[in-house]
Amino acid sequence: MRAQPLTGAGQASAGPARPAGPGARRGLLVTVVVVGAALLLRLFVVGWYPVLSDSMAPTVASGDHVVVDRVTWRLGGPDRGDLVTLVSPEDGTALLKRVVAVGGDEVRIDDALLVVNGVVVDEPYVDHARIDATYFGPVQVPAGHVFVLGDNRFGSIDSRVFGTVGLEDVTGRVVLTLG
């Protein structure tokens, strides 16, 4: 007698369902471990965030997304030039800014030019014409703090407004920008 293919509709059952074997349980366990690891990675190590303002334009524009490393930057940073996420000292919201000075640095802005420790910093991402005749500082950055600015200096609320940021308020370093 020939076996007929099963269509699932209108055919008799082949008998009671058998419990899943060791292969099925192993596959379920692997799936649970992979999903759990991905969730832990997302919760504690890497974050993916939409950008909702133009304070970092043209480097990162509103509507872009950033991938943020929440862990390894703590081993040696953040450093000058890093894009970081932080908790706003003003209202607790999440911000994206560039670290321009670290603990022990003196920072100032002279006629739109960023000066750190007496040296003018090359900032090709800043439109200096929009902030011509801007002056700020000097400010000494305390140990354990950073001074952050938006690349769009004309439209950024940053350390010029709320002061230096304690490292405990830095939440991560941007490792990738997705436009």
Active site residues: 55, 97
Structure tokens at 115: 């000066």
H or E element: which one contains 23? helix 22-40
Cα 142 to Cα 91: distance, rounded to the nearest angstrom: 22
DSSP secondary structure string, 38-63? Answer: HHHIIIIIEEEEE---STTTTTS-TT
Q: Give the angle 67-38-60 at the CA atoms, nearest 5°.
A: 10
